[in-house]
């Protein structure tokens, strides 16, 4: 089975929809997703994800299922910047936009066993959201024929392993979901990886002989935006504090 984790197009947060650029991104994305053989579609309840999913659902003739646990992380945090003498570059309590002068000094953020006990997350709502993601994800996998067995999944008899499911969601949620799938530290995933708008992250179920009734989950592509390059659409920097630049030759590069 393949799982496609898709971030919404460039957002118009005020209207909970997409910007004009976001709709252009959606058109480019549609041309790529038409070729993916998608069999099931799941969507965050937020408008920007719903708008992104609409054309591919219509093309595939699939009724998308809205899952509340795919909505963006609601939690906020209050890093002790002032007492540490750190001047924040922006005014936000977003848990995946911490100042590097702070988060890189927190050893717990690099440990999957320790990060959840860090006082930054006390009362933030992050733990509650993680629990909802865990429950929602395992229910989804079970629905499609995969039952967790430790770090493996048992493949139920008669499971269609050719399925491709698409999840339309968000930056923080998408990275949060990957952290839960891979059992990787959530703060490290949030601060070290980025999913551009309309990007596609691909996760495969992978089997090893002779254990053909079990699989692991393996990420084979993270934040792919090749559909934007094909469509001559610049990559959005929404949610990123550096700019994603498109030089005259059209080859994307990262810069400040």
pLDDT in tens, 138-192: 999 999 999 999 999 999 999 999 999 999 999 999 999 999 999 999 999 999 9
Contact 234, 228 (CB under 8 A): yes
Look at residue 92 in the predicted model and tell me its pLDDT. 73
Tell the burial category of 107 from Cβ atoms under 10 Å away from its Cβ (0-12, 13-18, 19+). exposed
- Using the predicted structure, report yes or no on whether residue 247 has a pLDDT greater than 50: no
What is the arithmetic mean of pLDDT over 232-250? 74
What is the arithmetic mean of pLDDT over 130-140? 97
pTM exceeds 0.85, yes or no: yes
- Using the predicted structure, report yes or no on whether residue 1 has a pLDDT greater than 90: yes
For residue 10, the domain's CATH number is 3.40.50.1240
- Using the predicted structure, report yes or no on whether residue 108 has a pLDDT greater than 60: yes
Query: Looking up tokens 């609601």, which residue turns up?
Result: 74
Closest CA to 229 of 198, 187, 185: 198
Going by pLDDT thresholds of 50, 70 and 90, the confidence category of residue 43 is: very high
What total of structural domains would you count in the chain?
A: 1
Q: What range does the domain containing 206 cover?
A: 2-255
Instruction: Tell me the average pLDDT of the chain.
Output: 93
Look at residue 103 in the predicted model and tell me its pLDDT. 96
Q: Which two tokens stand for residue 248?
A: 């005259």
**Rounded-to-integer distance, Cα 213 and Cα 161, Å:** 11
What is the arithmetic mean of pLDDT over 204-213? 97
**Rounded-to-integer distance, Cα 131 and Cα 249, Å:** 45
- Using the predicted structure, report yes or no on whether residue 132 has a pLDDT greater than 60: yes
Full DSSP string of the chain:
-EEEEEE-SSEETTTTEE-HHHHHHHHHHHHHHTTS---EEEE-SSHHHHHHHHHHHHHHT---EE-GGGSPP-------HHHHT---SS----TT---HHHHTT-GGGG-TTTGGG-GGGTTSSHHHHHHHHHHHHHHHHHHTTEEEETTEEEEPTT--TT-EEEEEE-HHHHHHHHHHHHT--HHHHHHH----TT-EEEEEEEEETTEEEEEEEEEEEEEE-HHHHHTT-PPP-TT-SSEEE--TT---EEE-
């Amino acid at each position: 089975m393949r799982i496609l984790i898709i971030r919404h197009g460039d957002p118009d947060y005020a209207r909970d929809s997409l910007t004009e650029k976001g709709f252009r991104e959606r058109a480019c994305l549609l041309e790529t997703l038409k070729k993916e053989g998608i069999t099931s579609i799941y969507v965050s309840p937020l408008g920007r994800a719903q708008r992104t999913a609409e054309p591919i659902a219509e093309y595939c003739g699939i009724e998308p299922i809205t899952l509340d646990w795919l909505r963006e992380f609601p939690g906020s945090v209050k890093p002790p910047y002032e007492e540490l003498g750190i001047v924040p570059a922006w005014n936000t309590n977003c848990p995946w936009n911490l100042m590097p002068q702070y988060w890189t000094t927190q050893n717990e953020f690099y440990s999957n066993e320790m990060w959840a006990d860090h006082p930054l997350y006390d009362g933030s709502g992050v733990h509650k959201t993680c629990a909802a993601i865990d429950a929602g994800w395992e229910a989804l996998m079970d629905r499609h024929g995969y039952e967790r067995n430790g770090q493996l999944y048992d493949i139920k008899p008669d499971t269609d392993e050719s399925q491709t499911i698409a999840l339309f969601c968000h930056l923080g949620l998408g990275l949060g979901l990957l952290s839960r799938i891979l059992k990787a530290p959530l703060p490290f995933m949030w601060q070290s990886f980025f999913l551009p708008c309309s990007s596609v992250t691909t996760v495969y179920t992978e089997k090893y002989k002779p254990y053909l009734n079990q699989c692991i989950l393996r990420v084979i592509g993270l934040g792919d935006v090749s559909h934007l390059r094909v469509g001559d659409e610049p990559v959005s920097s929404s949610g990123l504090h550096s700019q994603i630049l498109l030089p005259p030759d059209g080859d994307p590069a990262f810069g400040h």
